[in-house]
Amino acid sequence: MDLNLVRELIDAVSRSPIGELQIERDGIRVRIARHVSASALQTQSLPQPVSVSSATGAGPTVAVISRYSIRAPLTGVFYRSAGEGEPPLVSVGDVVEEGQKIGVLEAMKTFNVVEADRAGRIVEIALDDHAAVQSGDVLFVLEEAG
């Protein structure tokens, strides 16, 4: 993501009445939230989102959260579990390690293991169990552990 764009967004949030702005581009999510002092909160009638920051002042804070897509290495049928009747290998919110088995792809009667190629937390499972997939389709979205 372009650093100049982030600076422009920070400037726009600081000059506007909005309390928070979130944008995602190229797998990087940026959240800009206005820091509101305790005395300002007492004078407002509606609750506003407040970011926790160690910085002083009323400037916005920025949190960058990297996201990464795990894609299908081949065309086939996607399975969330290792076998019929077994629980899913992973669910949204699970933290996975690099190399951990997270799914199965069946292609030409051969079952291929899908492994996490980096550590992170599962934030999205893009397909339903038994879904037909094409090579390159997004299977999972990870938020990098940090």
Decide if 31 contacts 21 (C-beta within 8 A).
yes
Percentage of the residues of the chain whose pLDDT score is greater than 70:
69
Residue 79 has pLDDT above 70, yes or no: yes
pLDDT of residue 34: 62
Q: Give which of 38, 36, 10 is closest to 23, Cα–Cα.
A: 10
Q: Is the same domain home to 112 and 90?
A: yes
Band (58; pLDDT cuts 50, 70, 90): low
Band (94; pLDDT cuts 50, 70, 90): very high
Q: Is the same domain home to 35 and 96?
A: no
Residue 128 has pLDDT above 70, yes or no: yes
User: What contacts 26, CB < 8 A, 6 or more positions away?
Assistant: 1
- Does the reported pTM lie above 0.85? no
Q: Is the same domain home to 87 and 140?
A: yes
pLDDT of residue 12: 74
Over residues 3-7, the mean pLDDT reads 75
pLDDT of residue 109: 87
pLDDT of residue 106: 93
* Number of domains the chain contains: 2
Domain around 19: 3-66
